[in-house]
Structure 1
């Protein structure tokens, strides 16, 4: 009986994914043409080049259904039609339990100049970054982006030192043209690192204590530098209980969960 129920459950999930994929394919038939209509003249070339990267398309349960360009994935026209991709957010805490907060470069196409978690980006549609066991593919992507954005040597953060906590789904516009719609993997690192940021990616960074973070973010918001919506979600839902338990994170690990937020 258990075996029959398990098989039936798998068939049901497979059918749901198939139905979703059929709907998604029909709704996204014009993605390429929509993507090509957006003018990019005002953006920095370093950011334009990244728009050609292939992101991993997923359904709301984080099942892979295909790939699309980073550009297409971040256009609100496509997001409003259901385009959803996989992402990650890294939180780094040093040995003094200070959090590494970053501010996005003003050159960024989405949420320029916003304060955010240590590093946030997307795994690519490649075998290495799609490997699912213990989110190892996402961890490889995080290691790659930490080096690119913050100059952190991969040897300083072995994959084994990245703790995959949970996933959450959210949608947020940056403006009328661009936005985010992601299943976001939350990764925690508790290690000392050397930081040498790329100014095309990171405007500023600082290590902050637990009592400093929210007053600082509120003050910066008043000055016109808001906090990214995904980091605000993390602050409201998960962040501080994780921070308070850096030596005992296993109790909060939810690898099979996708919060719909």
Structure 2
């Protein structure tokens, strides 16, 4: 059993700000903290994990940043975690997504559980920041993953290398050059695929664009995301986490087109995630050509937010 499988869910503790703590507005807009000569190099900030303990000043400030955010899950009598294993329960209730408006401005935070309830999405209260990593090896093959059977949303579907969320923590809220999102991508590539941080330096991710989409998973769950599309070309060591990933494969362009054909024909029960299919249909193959030519910077457009359906 993995270490994460033994972690039990503990409801978050409400923490009051002391009078000495500056108001949340003092922390906006977010910038990389100033470092003294004795401070670690800024690149090490990506390994910082902000907790909710009373000893963490930043966590206390941001736990109260948006008083309207719903961070406490429903009572256990409502069985909100019915059917979840221990790992997914912890992620759904402890991880807090970054709520944004349609212009990608931060408006608050909420649990992953609340952000993915379809009823909340339909009410327009759950738009959150996300990222999708497309990792290519030196042969320009794309690494795909099949999501594990225990995933709450979209289990067993095939998708791009890694899809997840930057969390409401200091290192992943840095807006400049999408550094917060790139920090989160490095973290999740290790969590899901066991790819070491040194194999995917944050400065090697190329943010190419942003999409906004909404998609149901089933009657209870769905996605409503403002998704950063990150490309990276690296040969990496991969050791998938079975709690997150059922299978992986590298594909070239022709092999991906065959997967698309099978998914469209309903062959072999093969399904693709809706966000991956949107990227494939709108951007992927022309961006893939830039990967092969070494001209990815020509494809980047981080000013537009593409609303896709």
Give the TM-score of the pair, scaled to structure 1.
0.86
Please give the per-residue CA displacement for 1:188-212, whole angstroms capped at 9, x wherever unaligned.
0111111100011000001111111
Cα separation, 2, equivalents of 1:166 and 1:151 = 26
Cα separation, 2, equivalents of 1:173 and 1:86 = 17
Equivalent positions of 1:1-261 (< 5 A) are: 37=78, 39-51=80-92, 52-82=94-124, 83-219=126-262, 221-246=266-291, 247-261=294-308
Distance verdict in 2 for CA 1:71–1:30, change over 3 Å: closer
Cα separation, 2, equivalents of 1:31 and 1:55 = 10
Task: Identify, as 1 or 2, the structure richer in strand.
Answer: 1
Q: Which runs of 5+ in 2 are unaligned?
A: 1-65
CA contact (8 A) 2:143 2:249 kept: yes
Cα separation, 2, equivalents of 1:54 and 1:31 = 8
CA contact (8 A) 2:73 2:80 kept: no
CA contact (8 A) 1:93 1:99 kept: yes
Cα separation, 2, equivalents of 1:130 and 1:219 = 39
CA contact (8 A) 2:194 2:239 kept: yes
Cα separation, 1, equivalents of 2:188 and 2:128 = 17
Aligned length: 236
Cα separation, 2, equivalents of 1:38 and 1:133 = 40
Please give the per-residue CA displacement for 1:223-250, whole angstroms capped at 9, x wherever unaligned.
2231000000000011001111111011
Q: Which runs of 5+ in 1 are unaligned?
A: 1-24
CA contact (8 A) 1:150 1:196 kept: yes
Cα separation, 2, equivalents of 1:85 and 1:180 = 9
Distance verdict in 2 for CA 1:30–1:243, change over 3 Å: closer
Partner of 2:28: none
1:33 deviation in Å? Answer: 7.0
CA contact (8 A) 2:166 2:185 kept: yes
CA contact (8 A) 1:115 1:217 kept: no
RMSD between aligned alpha carbons? 1.9
